Structure 1
Amino acid sequence: MQERKIIELEGGWSFMEKGITKLKNILEGEEKDQFTAEQYMMLYTTIYNMCTQKPPNDYSEQLYTRYRESFSVYIKERVLPALGSQRDDYLLKELHKRWNNHKVMVRWLSRFFNYLDRYYITRHSLPSLNDVGLIRFRDDVYMEVKKLAKDAMLAAIEKERNGDQIDRSLLKNVLGIFIEVGMGGMDCYDEDFEQHLLAETASYYRKKATVWITEDSCPDYMQKAEDALRMEEERVTNYLHVDTKAKLLQEAEREILEQYEAELLDKEDTGAAALMRDDKKADLARMYRLFSRIPKGLEPVAAIFKKHVEGEGTKLVAQVTEALNTRKEKDAGKPSKDSGSGTQEQTYVKTVIELHDKYLQYVTESFNSSSLFHKALKEAFEAFCNKAVGGLASAELMANFCNTLLSKTSGSSEKLTEDAVEDMLDKVVKLLAYISDKDLFAEFYRKRLSRRLLQDKSASDDHERAVLTRLKQQCGAQFTSKMEGMVTDLQLAREKQQAFESWQRSNSKSSPIELSVTVLTTGFWPAFKAVDLALPQEMVEGVALFKEFYEATVKHRKLTWYYHAGHANIRGNFKRNPIDMVMSTTQAAVVLLFNSEDKLTFSEIRERANLPEEDLVRILHSLSCSKYKILAKEPPTKTPGKTDTFSMNANFTDRMRRIRLPAPPTDERRKVMENVDQDRRHAIDAAIVRTMKSRKVLQHQQLVLEVVQQLQRMFQPDIKQIKKRIEDLIQREFLERDPNQPNTFKYMA
């Protein structure tokens, strides 16, 4: 076998230089003929042979060095002179061109010197041929022009920010160089470009914001800010590295939004409060989007929103209170009406519902259902919904509003559809979440419910049950247990009435009057006043018949008759025409006395009807001094007196053939308030005892705190009242004071 001829270093390198020169000429456009396969193989084989010769003729190390130097020579002779004469965009274009040429040169030379990569570089853990090429460009080109390139790119970006068109693809390509020369890291991009970009961005928007805040309205400022931030995001998408996005936006947001938030929100006539006042929902949505970008940026907006809503509600309370006070002045001296049933109070609740709908829409649409704004809305409504409205609590007004919606005769000119009524009731129940005195609402609602059920005034059983279901979900089962019992009771009472009628037919018995009895469970219903009314004979026989039936069919139950809660249908045979009258049982008992007597004095009526004096005054007032004057009174004063004489008003007439007499006026509200106050005392007592029983020993402040926490779901307990109840429980020996620490209590088992 013929021995391979040794290739000397200089001789072999001389041949390689010719190939490298050809490559350089191709890159410079001075030669168009590309390498043929034969030329490529000759160059590759020359390197292969020079690297595989036996020592001392293995020239791998020398070739590796000369490979690296080939780049440096080319850069010094051709690349740097070409770049040195360029500025701005021309510099960037030339740099991009030279970078592309350099990568081509690296690719071809790496092929020629490929054998070095496979063996020599691997064995000695040296940078690869490709890395050597990148390092040469980084050290010899990039380090020389990076500042000029950075300045050129920043200038282009500022031009774009000012509305000029720029070559975005060129910037993207040049920034690619900053990334690639990092050889897997982002140090070059970060230190040589990004840090300067962020500083320039902050400076640019600092100047812009200074002008905008002076010249523009709040909506215009926000529009410019949103446009600017959107453009910065597009900048990242089009040519900046994705990691720059958060940092770039942070700089812009700090200068545009964070620095001027307070001044922007408080701008006179155009700030956040003005936008809410003028219902600028789109601008408020933009405000939310913008200030959600900065730390705690939404808290001032939520505070303004809360203040605005609370202000609107407080203004409404003041308006209705003023109207009620005016009405009270006009009605001074007139007979009092059932509280809370007036138009102003109904309008108040309806307007509160409309306010809630309006600002809930703000929260859901403009403020993206943010929990922060839900909280602000809740606190604002709690602030004004718990204010007294003309001396009346919102809880009472809401109960009366529900009563109006659920009654057959609403008294409103506006007729609502079934769906509208249900929707309105649903909204009232939701408002109840803002009311601290939920127990007060429950008592008023229960009182009104009992009246609707017993007087057959309820417009829909389905609506009644639907409201109770909503209240149960909102406030718990205990809240509605008595009310649900009332509704169920009435259904059972109807069945009991049917059984009574069947019993009469079975036993061939009948009442002289058409009698309907509603049997109720005492624990569910509000307390009724029991009086030993002297019934007319017709009623006595009917009551006796029902007692006989009840005692025959029910064991271990006692009947108590509440005549004040009943009603009677009576036909009055007046001179002009007969009129059917619906009135309370007690009113009927008084009226029927005049079937046998032409005239009766106050004392005679009281004696024959066996009614308390205060009740009789109210009944006679309703019969002789109200809209329907069934009885004539002598003397004809505005209120019944103990010396007055009464007779049947034979000349009474009315255009209606059937009338409902107003119930005797009562101070129902005072009774409800007394019941609630008593229930609260019991609830506070129970909470104190429950807490002390589990804790045994507790300091005064901690005991009060725990009692408040237990009870505030139903009402906001008064601290003074809690102290009184603690003293009462000490006297009743449920608790005792620690003799050494007066502010510490012990539970007495």
Structure 2
Amino acid sequence: MAMLKSQGQLQFEDKWPSMRPTVLKLLRQEPVTRAEWQDLFWSVHSVCLWDDKGPNKVHEALQTDILEFIKQAQTRVLQHQEDSALLKAYIAEWSKFFAQCDYLPKPFGQLESSLSGKPHSTIQKKNQGEESIVRKLMLDSWNQSIFSNIKHRLQGSAMKLVHAERNGEAFDSQLVIGVRESYVNLSSDAEDKLKIYRDNFERAYLDATASFYKAKAPQYLDANGVQNYMRYAEMKLKEEEQRAQRYLETRKGCNSVAALTECCVNALVTAFKETILAEGPGMIKRNETEKLRLMFSLMDRVPDGIQPMLCYLEEHVINAGLADMMDAADTITTDSEKYVEQLLALFNKFSELVSEAFGDDPRFLTSRDKAYREVVNDTKIFKLDLPVKNKGVGTKTQPESKCPELLANYCDMLLRKTPLSKKLTSEEVERKLKDVLLVLKYVQNKDVFMRYHKAHLTRRLILDTSADNEKEENMVEWLREVGMPADYVNKLARMFQDIKVSEDLNTEFKEAHRNNNEGIAESINIKILNAGAWARSSDRVSVSLPMELEDYIPEVEEFYRLKHSGRKLQWHHLMSNGIITFTNEVGKFDVEVTTFQMAVLFAWNQRSKEKITYENLKLATELPDSELRRTLWSLVAFPKLKRQVLLCEPEAKSPKDFGDSTLFHVNQQFSLIKNGKVQKRGKINVIGRLQLSTEKSKEEDNEGIVQLRILRVQEAIVKIMKMRKKITNAALQTELVEILKNMFLPSKKMIKEQIEWLIEHKYMKRDEDNINMFIYMA
């Protein structure tokens, strides 16, 4: 055995001199014959198998020759002083050496096997990511000698070239790319292939970039102002991102480009954040969308950069919106069409700003919505006063926005036969109704809109003044789609069903009386409607009807009793109307009147030229004082007439001026005037806005809204408590607002009062250890 080892040692000493020339040729990229290539394989194999120390000796000899070769390469590189020449020489030497890192290890497979203690076949099948021993030796040797010695010069030269490019000078970009690639390929660490690149080249690149812009950016800002600087910053960020794609590593899992972008943002934007943002309010006010878009793109890269811009937008929408509404207050408070158009114009203006300046970014849309909601629900310009009863203090009013009422009025103008609805196409009406629903989305107290919308719908259905019945029913469904409470929408839908049922009953009634040859039946149109969906009991007003109508009431009641036993009819004359033929010295006219107006005018039926006192009219009509005054005023001062139906003595400026002795008489010169000419025939509507409620019931309606809100709050609190069993005050309020937001926004005071009421009535209680925690009591 001793003799074999001795032969092995001799074998290495004998073999290496013949192996070395081939190794050197491979290192220098000189041609190697097939015989030399095969001999090298065999020599490595025999040395490593026959000599225990052979593998280590081969490894040491290889290392010596590789280091010698690298030292010569370093000498050749350092001969060049100029940056470009130095980089060019380094890249050339590295490229040749790196190429041989793939070839030189091949003949040394047996060396790998011997040093690792694994069979040669296993070595060949090992993970592709692991470096071979010879390749690792080559890369580590290059790293420890030439690279460690000149890496600072290499990086410095590469960064100088990039700096020159930033200043507009031309150079061969492949030099920087070549250096980068040598850093990337140099690591022999299987766990982190990019460690050398990241610790050296990337860090140097980021530091050089930051230094460049820390020097340049302030100078540019001082010389050119904020707005030009923003363009400069945007342009430089794009440039640097493109440059980073060329000069930094972009392989998957490497975040060099992102790190560079963050570095540039810090140097170009974050450092000047306050200065740039200070320009925001002015730009928003001046609607400078292009500049805002630029500011947005820059600030969106900065932590919390967007937040101040959101605040600026909110302030602008509120201030500009309220200022515009205030400027147009004289018009919009009296004209619901102009009011809604003004609101929509504002919404479209602000939406356009958000679209063009901020690309409809959700954060800015949220700010727009929040601010626009304040404009819509503002009570400075006009308000609706709702009564709030305080224990021991009496009644005070709670101001709310009049917006829901005006929106309902505008819907009425679109859905009723009006000059506005007549001049619009069906598609235009639909679009404008959808616009109303858009604004309604921002209304806090939608229950007020519901009340007025229902009142208007009632008028249209009773007077048969709807411009398009299909649109009416569509509107109900659209209200459902935008989240209106189901009970409210269902009640509206019930009204349409009632009208259809009523039409059928009316036809049957006329048919029954036609057989009795009663001609008046043809001229009467009865509407039998469900009281719960249509009216309040306090809306009923007593009135002495003309004999022709009074005699007909029992017949209608008898007809209905035979159809539906057990149901009771209540007559709502307040909501009724008709057409009378009015004859005077000028001619004959058909006048559309309310039942109250009809009762008043019939007082002159047998004595057309007499003067009747207010007191006698009160006795004749049996109308309450307030209703009689209102009705008489509509006949002596109807705004659309140049010649009124009735005249009074002495003249009055308002219904309050009527006294018991005020005399009224039929105007014998009453007529319609068209184009300045007196007409002897014609039809006129003096109903105007059909009164659906008395003064008393209006107050009740307002109180009813508040009372219903109280019940809704109580109901919602109990619902939440039943589900949660235990909940904090803050969480309860949040959930409560979420449940009720489609109807109204409950005030904190109302919530607090109803919580106290529910605690007092044993629906819930406070936790003994935490007063802000509520517990449900079953």
- Interval of TM-score (by shorter of Structure 1 and Structure 2): 0.7 to 0.9
Alignment of 1:164 with 2:161, yes or no, is no
Alignment of 1:604 with 2:604, yes or no, is no
Q: Secondary structure at the match of 2:478?
A: helix
340, 343, 363: which is aligned to 1:349?
340
Q: CA deviation at 1:399?
A: 1.4
What is the identity, as a one-letter code, of the residue corresponding to 2:75? L
For residues 626-685 of structure 1, give each alpha carbon's deviation from its aligned partner in whole angstroms, at most 9, with x where no partner exists: 344112323334344321222221211113521111448979799546413333224315
Distance in 2 (alpha carbons) for counterparts of 1:540 and 1:650? 28
Aligned 8 A contact 1:472 1:479 in 2: no
Q: 1:692 to 1:567 in 2, by over 3 A?
A: closer
Distance in 2 (alpha carbons) for counterparts of 1:212 and 1:668? 73
Partner of 2:350: 359
Q: CA deviation at 1:290?
A: 2.8
Distance in 1 (alpha carbons) for counterparts of 2:596 and 2:478? 36
Aligned 8 A contact 1:513 1:539 in 2: no
Alignment of 1:631 with 2:643, yes or no, is no
Partner of 1:319: 327
Alignment of 1:143-182 (within 5 A): 143-182=148-187
Q: CA deviation at 1:409?
A: 0.4
546, 554, 557: which is aligned to 1:547?
557
Partner of 1:683: 709
Partner of 1:716: 745
Alignment of 1:240 with 2:276, yes or no, is no
Q: 1:148 to 1:690 in 2, by over 3 A?
A: closer
Q: CA deviation at 1:213?
A: 3.5
Q: Which stretch has the larger CA shift, 74-83 or 442-451?
A: 74-83
Alignment of 1:244-283 (within 5 A): 244-267=256-279, 272-283=280-291
Distance in 2 (alpha carbons) for counterparts of 1:290 and 1:670? 61
Q: 1:668 to 1:610 in 2, by over 3 A?
A: closer
Aligned 8 A contact 1:86 1:94 in 2: no
Q: CA deviation at 1:572?
A: 1.7
Q: CA deviation at 1:147?
A: 0.5
Q: CA deviation at 1:187?
A: 1.9
Q: 1:486 to 1:147 in 2, by over 3 A?
A: same
For residues 302-359 of structure 1, give each alpha carbon's deviation from its aligned partner in whole angstroms, at most 9, with x where no partner exists: 11111111112111232233557xxxxxxxxxxxxxxx6x33x432221211222333
Q: CA deviation at 1:70?
A: 0.9
Alignment of 1:377 with 2:364, yes or no, is no
Distance in 1 (alpha carbons) for counterparts of 2:73 and 2:733? 89
For residues 263-288 of structure 1, give each alpha carbon's deviation from its aligned partner in whole angstroms, at most 9, with x where no partner exists: 21212xxxx33333333334433333
Q: CA RMSD in A?
A: 3.7
Partner of 1:337: none
Q: Which stretch has the larger CA shift, 122-131 or 141-150?
A: 122-131
Q: CA deviation at 1:711?
A: 4.5
Distance in 2 (alpha carbons) for counterparts of 1:687 and 1:88? 79
Alignment of 1:15 with 2:18, yes or no, is yes
Alignment of 1:345-744 (within 5 A): 345-364=336-355, 366-388=357-379, 389-391=381-383, 393-411=402-420, 415-473=423-481, 474-506=483-515, 508-511=517-520, 514-527=523-536, 529-597=539-607, 598-599=609-610, 600-627=612-639, 628=641, 629-639=644-654, 640-655=658-673, 657-663=682-688, 672=698, 674-685=700-711, 687-688=713-714, 691=717, 711-720=740-749
Aligned 8 A contact 2:139 2:187 in 1: no
Q: CA deviation at 1:697?
A: 11
Q: Secondary structure at the match of 1:304?
A: helix
Q: CA deviation at 1:543?
A: 3.0
Q: 1:722 to 1:15 in 2, by over 3 A?
A: closer
Aligned 8 A contact 2:717 2:732 in 1: yes
Structure 2 unmatched runs, 5+: 124-130, 385-401, 675-681
What is the identity, as a one-letter code, of the residue corresponding to 2:32? F
Distance in 2 (alpha carbons) for counterparts of 1:166 and 1:669? 89
Q: Which stretch has the larger CA shift, 454-463 or 288-297?
A: 288-297
Aligned 8 A contact 1:281 1:362 in 2: yes
Q: CA deviation at 1:211?
A: 3.0
Distance in 2 (alpha carbons) for counterparts of 1:202 and 1:708? 50
Q: Which stretch has the larger CA shift, 595-604 or 500-509?
A: 500-509
Aligned 8 A contact 2:539 2:697 in 1: no
What is the identity, as a one-letter code, of the residue corresponding to 1:170? L
Q: CA deviation at 1:686?
A: 5.8
Q: 1:670 to 1:100 in 2, by over 3 A?
A: farther
Q: 1:568 to 1:382 in 2, by over 3 A?
A: same
Distance in 1 (alpha carbons) for counterparts of 2:433 and 2:461? 18
What is the identity, as a one-letter code, of the residue corresponding to 1:535? L
Count of residues paired in the alignment: 713
Q: CA deviation at 1:515?
A: 0.4
Aligned 8 A contact 1:590 1:609 in 2: yes
Structure 1 unmatched runs, 5+: 28-33, 325-339
For residues 24-45 of structure 1, give each alpha carbon's deviation from its aligned partner in whole angstroms, at most 9, with x where no partner exists: 6656xxxxxx333234334444
What is the identity, as a one-letter code, of the residue corresponding to 1:504? H
Distance in 2 (alpha carbons) for counterparts of 1:227 and 1:748? 66
Q: Which stretch has the larger CA shift, 501-510 or 596-605?
A: 501-510
Q: CA deviation at 1:583?
A: 1.3
99, 109, 112: which is aligned to 2:94?
99
Distance in 1 (alpha carbons) for counterparts of 2:103 and 2:631? 116
Partner of 1:83: 78
Q: 1:253 to 1:596 in 2, by over 3 A?
A: same
Distance in 1 (alpha carbons) for counterparts of 2:689 and 2:337? 23
Percent identity for Structure 1 against Structure 2: 24
Alignment of 1:305 with 2:313, yes or no, is yes
Distance in 1 (alpha carbons) for counterparts of 2:563 and 2:99? 110
Alignment of 1:284-295 (within 5 A): 284-295=292-303
